[in-house]
Structure 1
Amino acid sequence: MSLRKKSPPEDLSNLRHRSNNANVEVNAGQTDMVPLPPYPKKAVSSSLDSIRILPRAPGVSSSEGEEVELSLLSEEERASAGLDGDVQTHAYAARTTAMSSRDRKAMTLLIILYLIQGVPLGLALGSVPFILREHLSYSQLGVFALSNYPYSLKLLWSPIVDSTFLPSIGRRKSWIIPMQLVIGFLMLYIAANVERLMENPADNVNELTFVFTALVFFSATQDIAVDGWALTLLSQENLSYASTCQTIGLNTGFFASFTVFLALNSEAFAEKWGIPRLMLSTYLRFCSLLCFGVTLWLTFFEKEGKESLDGSEMTVTTVYKTIWNICKLRHVQALMIMHFFAKIGFQANEAVTSLKMIEKGLGREDLAIVVLIDFPFQILGGWLAAKWSSGDRPLRPWIWAFWPRLAFALLSTLIVYWFPKSPLSYGFFIYLVIHTVLQGLSSTIQFVGISAFHTRISDPLIGGTYMTLLNTFTNLGGTWPKYFVLKGVDFFSEAYCEVKDAKSDLLVKAAECVSERGKERCSDINGECITERDGYYYVSGICMTFGVLFLVLYIIPTARKLQALPVYKWRISPE
């Protein structure tokens, strides 16, 4: 994501106001215009909630084309120039023109680049935690969850990516090419060592966390450059397709690494359909070859157009100063506090419930099918929420969707508590699908609602920086509690090893049976782990209680106040 990009003014009146100072000469039958300096483009912003990873809508960038230059004229100026129609007619005509072969090629490239980025995310956020659950405690899974952080903290280094490059290679390719090479080699390293790392993951959890954190970091860095390149790869009239490319590519890569891989990696699935089981090492090698192939194509067959860089663009230092000035606004601070704690209420549900269901007997291939069915409904929910979020109260769906999300968190906890024994009936499986779909819809409504509010309040002169800052705190609100939730499950759990004395009918309680080492010791002495208290229910109760109280006492009154503020209150004075 390109932070140096700034979006153009939001409405036509601002454009016309600026045009009064434009150097425009109108002659009979001819219009000669001295073009204004182009407005910087607005960056595409990223959010982890889409993985639920969902698309970010890019702003409309400036163009040196005739239509945009003419839109800078006032009504009187346009009338004197003999121009008929209005700006909206021009814009509509541009949108309805057939897509050029150049744009179709650019869209294909963007989809492939986003797909490469989605593969590591699907592994780190999806498949690998489910595989490790069979070998790690929840506390150790909490350590592995730290690998998600780089994607939430891209703001810290995105100005550097946007401003530092080799002109001979290209502004974006200078970062995309090395990042993809590193991603490919990291995948080969993990594939070569996966048996050692997975044979005893409890002893290798730190190394696993490090390599997957690095994988997500380099993928996040590649994302910054790809988001910036999308603004110049596509023509002005088709720029809105950037988010479409991201949706297709990112989600395809994510679901290939999560849903598809999880099913093909299942022994039961492979045996049922008579196909060989797909191992993690094989999948990683295939993905690394794909990564290297795309990188070679990008290096030798794809040229990057030159971007005009002038003094009007923000420097790295200016971007960081801007971020600090935004953070000093009191209502921005209130919004950050709201984001930082808003997702705690359903964190136990999102971080632990699926793992608990697998622990209770839900097959990984069944979970993959549920997630796959849920995906199209998320897209539908996003479209409906976008219509609901329009108007003067974009936070309305975001606030209302808290209640069903908290209700589904409670219902999920009850499902785990009364989870039926295998084999699962078709009726229960259909109920689980419906529950997951409705829960996903409420999450999607919230994401679209808050994104609409962020788009509304972001200063158009520094749109990329503003949006990225707000999305950073949104992402962190769903990332930082995960570690403590997973640690809390083990902290509140009580389990012991029950050993039956072979010489008598006495039952002996041995050491604890919560950690993986405790379970291994219990197994070594032919014991059985008996859970007296499952910490999941305690953590889930704490999270939901906090979520309801924080929603009623802080989120609802604060959100209504912030929503009522005029837009100019969110602006900062340019330096």
Structure 2
Amino acid sequence: MLELRRLDQLTDHGDIDDSSDLSERLDEQHTTIKPVLTFLEKKNLVFLCTIYFIHAIPLTFSWYTMPIILRQQLSYSAVGTFLISQYPYSWKALWSPLVDGLHHPLIGRRKTWIVPSFVIGGAVLFWLAFTQDSLVMEVANGSSLAMAWIVLPWLIIMFVCSNIRIALDSWSINLLSPPNVHWASSITNVGETSAGLISCNLFLGVTSLNSPIQEDGKTEPASTFLFFGASATVFIATAILLMIGNRESDKGQKRQSIRKVYNIIWEILKLRHVWTLMLVHVASMVGFITNDTITILELVKNHFSDLDLAILATAGLPFAIAGSFLVANAMQTRHPLHVWRRMFPWRLILAFISQLTILFVARYPNSRFRWLVILIPFCLSQLYGVAMWVAFVAFHAQVSDPQFGGVYMSVLATTLNIRYDTLQFLSTKAIGMADDMTGSTSLIDGYQIVNATTVVLAVPIYWFFLRPATLYLQTIDASAWRIRSQEPADGVAYEMVGNVLDDEHQS
């Protein structure tokens, strides 16, 4: 078993410049025989992918489509206000102990939360089907109260979807064997990407045919009635099918007291390397946040139609799925953090190139090459972005204590979500303020200023912190991530699973 080493012991001479050699040696140690998925595990992956897909339909609509709908009518600052609704999903670790610790034995440990969450989510989606279109128009006419009524139901949807996600994360660890647990992150991404195809690509493409241009040149918001109505129906139907389906198996799982489960979070947060990982999460997104979240909105500003955006998103979809599977395959012989480090510089370069493409589109709006200029960096950004996210989540699954999978995964994922929502909120507000200073018609606008600043800042952040920090995390033995608060019976069962993970890590 590898010993826990300090950062200054990474190399013989304490020189981090030689850390690439260390990375290669560590990856050689990690090389092992490729594990094989059993037939039961393949069935479990299909099941997980289906539920991830369904619960991600409103999520991806909120992440991708709602900002586009609002940006067609409103400023970046107003879009930033809507993004507040996404915070429950980011802070789901706060109540993950309740989801992991409370359940009805006749229903099942996970279905106790998944089924009611689908029912509540379906009811709220039905309400949005009849109200959201008129509320968006009221916001465009200056009603701040209407914005509050848009944010409130989306807060509820994000809350119930976070409950589903916590339960699924925990369930995935138990449905897959330790050598194959890394497939959970890829399946999660496939489900969410497929949901994005429905809620963004297909929605924008179909509704663009019936979205006339207003007198002021803005596109009239697309009707969401049919989409929300269908989504609500799927949510309710899924709840019914899960309820009448086979009873959930909870072998070896004991019901925990709420106090004890909350104590698990405290035990996780007492680990120094967990805080290092969280800092890596936050710092790693600085250089990409503007490109990932605002570039598509800049295309709206430069008169790309809903159909244009749908075509662009569809073109990027194969790259997103390919990134997920390519990384999953690479991680069978390479450490997830090694894969992540290799992709960071290229993704940063693409963020800067994307900024130049927006300049080109703004300067030459009628150029026959505008699609080619936009398409290549967009698709490659999708590939690298998804791949790096999958690598992070795979690392979470690798080090998480399987006895407390839902809580542990949620705690580690919390900073992934918080960093995204917070930096996106700050980015939109910063761009709005910069636009006020430079003028909305200027080529060098708020987007150009903020993106260039974040890309430049990311270079020293990566070299002096992210690279050595991830190398340090890569050397930590799997047993160092374990929670030491189990009762004797739980501890014995846990050590059996932990030994398997340790053996795989050492091999």
Partner of 1:558: 469
Partner of 1:307: 250
1:422 Cα deviation (Å)? 4.7
Partner of 1:540: 451
Distance 1:572 1:551, change over 3 A: same
CA distance in 2, matches of 1:145, 1:115: 22
Contact 2:101 2:261 in 1 (8 A): no
Cα RMSD, aligned residues only = 3.6
Q: Across the two proteins, how many residue pairs are aligned to each other? A: 444
One of 109, 114, 122 as aligned partner of 1:176: 114
Contact 1:259 1:372 in 2 (8 A): yes
1:172 Cα deviation (Å)? 3.1
CA distance in 1, matches of 2:292, 2:181: 34
Distance 1:389 1:322, change over 3 A: same
1:567 Cα deviation (Å)? 4.1
CA distance in 2, matches of 1:130, 1:220: 23
1:402 Cα deviation (Å)? 1.9
Distance 1:414 1:287, change over 3 A: same
1:485 Cα deviation (Å)? 0.5
Q: Does residue 471 of the first structure (1) align with residue 413 of the second (2)? A: yes
Q: Does residue 369 of the first structure (1) align with residue 311 of the second (2)? A: yes
One of 44, 67, 89 as aligned partner of 1:151: 89
One of 140, 161, 165 as aligned partner of 2:78: 140
CA distance in 2, matches of 1:467, 1:236: 15
Partner of 1:72: none
Residues 361-400 of structure 1 correspond to what in structure 2 (within 5 A)? 361-390=303-332, 393-400=335-342
CA distance in 1, matches of 2:321, 2:154: 28
Unpaired stretches in structure 1, ≥5 consecutive residues: 1-9, 12-87, 272-276, 497-512, 515-529
Q: Does residue 330 of the first structure (1) align with residue 272 of the second (2)? A: yes
Amino acid in structure 2 at the alignment position of 1:296: I
1:472 Cα deviation (Å)? 1.8
1:430 Cα deviation (Å)? 3.1
| Farther off after superposition, 557-566 or 239-248 | 239-248
Contact 2:133 2:223 in 1 (8 A): no
One of 401, 424, 429 as aligned partner of 1:482: 424
1:536 Cα deviation (Å)? 1.4
Q: 3-state DSSP class of the match of 2:288?
A: helix
Partner of 1:126: 64
Residues 97-108 of structure 1 correspond to what in structure 2 (within 5 A)? none
Amino acid in structure 2 at the alignment position of 1:371: A
CA distance in 1, matches of 2:300, 2:284: 27
CA distance in 2, matches of 1:196, 1:442: 38
TM-score, length basis structure 1: 0.68
Amino acid in structure 2 at the alignment position of 1:443: G
Distance 1:533 1:408, change over 3 A: closer
Contact 1:389 1:448 in 2 (8 A): no
Contact 1:269 1:365 in 2 (8 A): no
Q: 3-state DSSP class of the match of 2:287?
A: helix
Partner of 2:227: 283
Distance 1:131 1:536, change over 3 A: same
Partner of 2:300: 358
Residues 13-28 of structure 1 correspond to what in structure 2 (within 5 A)? none
1:243 Cα deviation (Å)? 6.3
User: For 1:51-89, what per-residue CA distance to the aligned partner results, in whole angstroms no more than 9, with x for missing partners?
Assistant: xxxxxxxxxxxxxxxxxxxxxxxxxxxxxxxxxxxxx99
- Fraction of identical pairs, as percent: 28
Distance 1:128 1:552, change over 3 A: same
One of 164, 168, 185 as aligned partner of 2:123: 185
1:410 Cα deviation (Å)? 1.0
Distance 1:225 1:377, change over 3 A: same
Distance 1:573 1:495, change over 3 A: closer
CA distance in 2, matches of 1:345, 1:243: 23
Amino acid in structure 1 at the alignment position of 2:277: L
Partner of 1:294: 238
User: For 1:417-461, what per-residue CA distance to the aligned partner results, in whole angstroms no more than 9, with x for missing partners?
Assistant: 121555552x43234222122112222332233334434444455
1:220 Cα deviation (Å)? 1.6
Residues 22-421 of structure 1 correspond to what in structure 2 (within 5 A)? 95=37, 110-201=48-139, 202-203=142-143, 204-228=146-170, 246-267=188-209, 279-299=223-243, 301-305=244-248, 307-308=250-251, 314-390=256-332, 393-419=335-361, 421=364
| Farther off after superposition, 121-130 or 143-152 | 143-152
Distance 1:118 1:163, change over 3 A: same
Residues 424-463 of structure 1 correspond to what in structure 2 (within 5 A)? 425=368, 427-459=369-401, 462-463=404-405
1:263 Cα deviation (Å)? 0.9
Distance 1:473 1:214, change over 3 A: same
CA distance in 1, matches of 2:183, 2:389: 20
Contact 2:173 2:405 in 1 (8 A): no
Task: Specify which structure has the higher proportion of strand.
Answer: 1
Distance 1:453 1:107, change over 3 A: closer
Amino acid in structure 1 at the alignment position of 2:75: S
Amino acid in structure 2 at the alignment position of 1:181: V
CA distance in 2, matches of 1:248, 1:379: 6
Amino acid in structure 1 at the alignment position of 2:393: S
Relative contact order (C-alpha < 8 Å, sep 6+): which is higher? 2
1:374 Cα deviation (Å)? 1.8
TM-score, length basis structure 2: 0.76
Task: Specify which structure has the higher proportion of helix.
Answer: 2
CA distance in 1, matches of 2:84, 2:138: 20
